[in-house]
Structure 1
Amino acid sequence: MLNHSESSLNSTSWTTANLVSGGLMGLFFVVGVPGNIAVIVFILHHFKKDNFTVHLMLNLAAADILCLITLPVWIYSELESIDKVTCKFFTALVYYSAYSSVITVTVLSVYRCLRIRHPQLWSRMSKRRERALLISGWALALLFSCPGVLAQEIIQSGSKMECERNLESKDSRIVALLESLLGFFLPFTIMLTSYYCLYKTATQGAFRCRHRPTKLVTRIVIVFFIFWAPHQIIKLEEICAKFVGSEPILSLVSDIAGSLTFINSCVNPFLYAFSSRSLHKPYSSGSNLE
């Protein structure tokens, strides 16, 4: 949503894209914010607070809420101009929350893999180190979000000013390319690797009764790819077009593809909190997510 091009779009297609994008974002806000709040309340009420998986799920819900609460601003920006301060501030929230969400999902994938394949390895991890790992994830997300925020500008597009990523300089394109590698392709590779390791373990005779973690990580990988790949592909196509001096072909649907990334924040609470049967066990019976 924050990287679309302002070129080669007629007024009709641009208006249609804005309407579809705005409608989708409105739906995601209405569904996602209450859904993530409900997950936080549910987890805090039913599950052990010293469980690392619980901490990861709470982190994920918090990041998703932080991302989704920016949606009214982006819906407004589809219709009216916004100022530079608003552009920078809410862009910072989006990047920060998006990176936090991706990092949390990646850590969750690796953690699930280690819990099944090498349980004795993770058992050596102290609570202090687990907290340090969680804090490091947020700090890393803040670091990764800085280049994108700095490159976001107010650009004239038609009759209004829009908050867009500036890709005019070679350096800005290289930074945007690195963001795609660090923010999508690298985490996706780690998730795939974790899934592959879990799959190999689950197909071994001694672990045939533990298919559920493998299925959960499969959903993580599929959902992450489905809702982030279109946006990243369009972003890469736009960067490449800038490098060769041509017009981006996929910019027509860039707004819609960008808004679809918010779906991930809507489905995450249901995917991670309610897809596992163990989450429906009462707290009194020793409910946990390990």
Structure 2
Amino acid sequence: INTSNFSKTHNIAPEEYGTGTAVACVILGLSFLIGVPGNLFVIWTILRSMKRRSHTVMLILHLAVADTVVLITLPLWIYSMAHTWEFGEGTCKALVYFISTCMYSSIFFITLMSVERFVAISHPFVMLRWGNKSFMNRFLLFLWLLAFSMGTPAILTQSLNETDGVTQCFFREFSSDTQAIIIVCLETVAGFVLPLIILSICSCHVSMKIKKLSFNSKPKSVVLVHAVVIAFILCWLPHHIINIIDVVCLLISDTEHEYVPEYLVFSSGALVFISSSVNPMLYAFFAKNFRGSLEGSRLVRLFQEMTTYTNKLRDLAVQQQSEQGPSTQEEFISDSTC
């Protein structure tokens, strides 16, 4: 099997330098210059200015940490693309593993933002019962452990490749076509398809529920959450489309050849890194009209609005369920104990 066909998000270089390499270098360079300071500023703002952190703020904090870890490795990949990999196979496997883990965790945190709003408006009594800090911390720990387990295939398959005297850490070596198909399909389903389905269901359900509650206000924080989700889809979709094409071609063809041009594989892989750098720009854009002398105070106002809006939706849902009678409350409370 031609392992270059299954380049993952961190497999950001083809065997030969060309258009794809140049485009990827530009994308990765901009992602690093914009994303690292932006995410660090978000982390600093939350830790310094928000002593009481809601679930939404905690998700934003963990999302910024995961994105920062991904982005700080970019100089090594850019240097490797321009020269050669000089850091050994162990470092190669370790870096790729941590990148995979943090990218999975970012996806999980984005998905959980929508799930939390869904639970707040659809099962408000469950939210009241289980919406405490300790429960959220345990759930965040679970998501991190899940992400670490999902990144394990990177350790098993990542390897160094030498071509014309140049060593690169951009190849995945599978023991068989079956192993390649299983791993790539699992990563596509768990890392994109399932989160996308969950995001779509939660968003649609919340929108319909808001209409029933006659809650017409739509603050910037709602548009921000939608923008984060749209950015996630746009950045990841090309990469997973290429993966699906490779799997389909591998299933119907017994010959080894490049199913997708290298420059497309390379560019789509680099595009994924934008998803780790775009969120701070979205926060800054939606916070610019808030009053405040400093950017940090505007971000705090934005994050507080996100929390307030979710709480208002939950309170309205609680009020609606209370008006329906005690039996409804008991039903929701019993659901929370299952």
* TM-score higher than 0.5: yes
Separation in structure 2 between the aligned mates of residue 2 and residue 30 of structure 1, nearest angstrom: 18
Structure 1 contact 47–288 (Cα < 8 Å) conserved = no
Query: Which runs of no fewer than 5 residues in structure 2 stay unpaired?
Result: 1-8, 291-296, 308-338
Aligned pair partner of 1:260 in 257, 271, 274:
271
Moved over 4 A (4+): 3-7, 210-214, 276-279
Aligned pair partner of 2:55 in 52, 55, 70:
52
Separation in structure 2 between the aligned mates of residue 168 and residue 254 of structure 1, nearest angstrom: 21
Counterpart for residue 165 of structure 1: 172
In the superposition, relative to structure 1, how do residues 211 and 199 fare at CA in structure 2: closer, same or farther (>3 Å)?
farther
Do structure 1's residue 131 and structure 2's residue 134 form an aligned pair? no
Structure 2 contact 101–147 (Cα < 8 Å) conserved = yes
TM-score by length of 1: 0.87
Q: For 1:132-183, what per-residue CA distance to the aligned partner results, in whole angstroms no more than 9, with x for missing partners?
A: 0011111110000001231111123454222212246121321121111111
Shift of 1:236: 2.1
In the superposition, relative to structure 1, how do residues 24 and 281 fare at CA in structure 2: closer, same or farther (>3 Å)?
closer
Separation in structure 1 between the aligned mates of residue 221 and residue 209 of structure 2, nearest angstrom: 11
Comparing 182-191 and 41-50, the one that deviates more: 41-50
Do structure 1's residue 113 and structure 2's residue 121 form an aligned pair? no
Q: For 1:227-257, what per-residue CA distance to the aligned partner results, in whole angstroms no more than 9, with x for missing partners?
A: 0001111122223333323431243311111
Query: Which runs of no fewer than 5 residues in structure 1 stay unpaired?
Result: none
Structure 2 contact 10–99 (Cα < 8 Å) conserved = no
SS at match of 1:123: helix
Counterpart for residue 271 of structure 1: 282
Aligned residues: 283
Separation in structure 1 between the aligned mates of residue 44 and residue 13 of structure 2, nearest angstrom: 40
Shift of 1:131: 0.8
Structure 1 contact 60–100 (Cα < 8 Å) conserved = yes
Which residue identity is paired with 2:262?
S
TM-score by length of 2: 0.75
Which residue identity is paired with 1:137?
L
Same amino acid, percent of matched pairs: 32
Which residue identity is paired with 2:298?
H
Q: How does 1:182-201 map to 2 (within 5 A)?
A: 182-201=190-209
In the superposition, relative to structure 1, how do residues 77 and 211 fare at CA in structure 2: closer, same or farther (>3 Å)?
same
Greater gyration radius: 2
Which residue identity is paired with 2:187?
E
In the superposition, relative to structure 1, how do residues 218 and 39 fare at CA in structure 2: closer, same or farther (>3 Å)?
same
Comparing 52-61 and 72-81, the one that deviates more: 72-81
Which residue identity is paired with 2:124?
P
Shift of 1:77: 1.8
Shift of 1:87: 1.4
In the superposition, relative to structure 1, how do residues 236 and 148 fare at CA in structure 2: closer, same or farther (>3 Å)?
farther
Provide the alpha-carbon RMSD of the alignment: 2.6
